[in-house]
Amino acid sequence: MNTIGTRVRLTLFGESHGPSIGAVLDGLPPGETIDWAAVQREMARRRPGQGPWTTSRQETDAYTIESGYFQDKTTGTPLCIRIYNEDCQVQDYQAGVVRPGHADYTTYIRYHGCHDYRGGGHFSGRLTAPLVFAGAIAKQILQRRGVYMGGHILQVGTIGDRPFSALGESKDTLCTLTTQALPLLDSTLRPRIEEAIGNVKAEGDSLGGIVELMASGLPAGLGTPFFDSVESVLSHFFFSIPAVKGVSFGSGFALATMKGSASNDSFYYENGTVYTRTNHNGGINGGITNGMPLICQVAIKATPSIGKVQETIDVHAEKNITLAIRGRHDPCIVPRVVPVLEAALAWSLLDLWEDSEGIRGGYI
pLDDT at 361: 47
Report whether 123 belongs to an annotated binding site: yes
Predicted local confidence at residue 364, as pLDDT: 45
Q: Known binder of ligand: residue 301?
A: yes
Has 70 been labeled as part of a binding site? no
Q: Which residues contact 290 (CB under 8 A, 6 or more apart)?
A: 220, 274, 276, 281, 283, 284
pLDDT for res 126: 87
- Confidence at residue 225, expressed as pLDDT on a 0 to 100 scale: 86
Q: How far apart are CA 284 and CA 267, in angstroms?
A: 13
Q: Indicate the Cα dihedral angle 5, 9, 10, 13, nearest 10°.
A: 110
pLDDT of residue 62: 87
Amino acid (1-letter code) at residue 278: T
CA pair distance 79, 66, nearest whole angstrom? 7
- For the residues of 229-277, what is the DSSP string, one character each? -HHHHHHHHHTTSTTEEEEEETTGGGGGGS-HHHHS--EEEETTEEEES
Q: What total number of domains does the chain contain?
A: 1
Q: What is the dihedral of CA 74, 76, 80, 81, to 10 degrees?
A: 30
Model confidence pLDDT, tens digit, residues 329-351: 789 999 999 999 999 999 999 99
Does the annotation place 286 within a ligand binding site? yes
| Predicted pLDDT of residue 363 | 45
> Quick one: pLDDT at residue 197?
94
Q: Which residues of the chain have pLDDT under 50?
A: 361-364
CATH at residue 89 = 3.60.150.10
Please indicate if the annotation marks 259 as binding a ligand.
no
pLDDT of residue 61: 82
- Residue 139 known to bind ligand: no
328 in a labelled binding site: yes
Residue 227: what are its φ and ψ, rounded to 5°?
A: -90, -5
Domain of residue 111 covers 3-360
Per-residue pLDDT at 362? 45
Predicted pLDDT of residue 239: 97
